[in-house]
Structure 1
């Protein structure tokens, strides 16, 4: 599968509406929170938050941004896509064809065999 085919398939999946915010639960104590809007764009739900507080706003913000990057994963340049991960379907499809009666001629790479990855 070519890179452009994969990118086009990824971009067809809806972009997730995520937001990062920093809160001050007590004076001089900051924590980050990641929010997501699913159906109503005016309503956000908390999906992740820091379990510690930080003494500086910028530290909380930078730490929250790091968590947001981790949440999005390796495809940060295309943005976070919906939880129905199309990329997983694209990589599972060839193995499914082999299971239907054809032989899978792909070899193992670095000790890993081709096929679906269990969730």
Structure 2
């Protein structure tokens, strides 16, 4: 079964104020040269471990347990367009 590539994801925990921890999921699309935040905790955690565990649970939920989080399949530019409305579509 053909698979799309694994996403380049990383989990990080930040401590913006002493004793307040936030997790962030980062992604790179350029051979891991630059990273951007794709998801982050809204609330602070009392411990690094709590933040890490919740961030890891979110990361696990982003993909299939066997194959991991995969990139979206590229759109086939040669395929016929999909009509969302028009004659014969709304009937």
TM-score of Structure 1 vs Structure 2, range by shorter chain:
0.7 to 0.9
SS of the equivalent of 2:37 reads strand
Question: Aligned residue for 2:84?
Answer: none
Following TM superposition, by how much is the alpha carbon of 1:30 offset from its aligned partner in structure 2, in angstroms?
A: 0.3
Moved over 4 A (4+): none
Q: How many correspondences in the alignment?
A: 74
CA distance in 1: counterparts of 2:10 and 2:58, whole angstroms: 12
Give the TM-score taking structure 1 as reference length.
Answer: 0.58
TM-score (norm 2): 0.75
User: Is the helix fraction higher in 1 or 2?
Assistant: 1
| Structure with the higher strand share, 1 or 2 | 2
1:63 aligns to what SS in structure 2?
helix
Unaligned runs of at least 5 residues, structure 2: 75-91
Q: Distance in 2 between matches of 1:46 and 1:84?
A: 21
Q: CA deviation at 1:84?
A: 2.2
Partner residue in 1 for 2:19: 28
Q: Which residue of 1 aligns with 2:68?
A: 79
- RMSD between aligned residues: 1.4
Counterparts of 2:54 and 2:62, CA distance in 1:
12
The structural deviation recorded for 1:9 is 1.6
Among 64, 70, 86, the alignment partner of 2:61 is 70
Q: Secondary structure at the match of 2:61?
A: helix
Name which structure has the greater RCO, CA cutoff 8 Å, separation 6+.
2
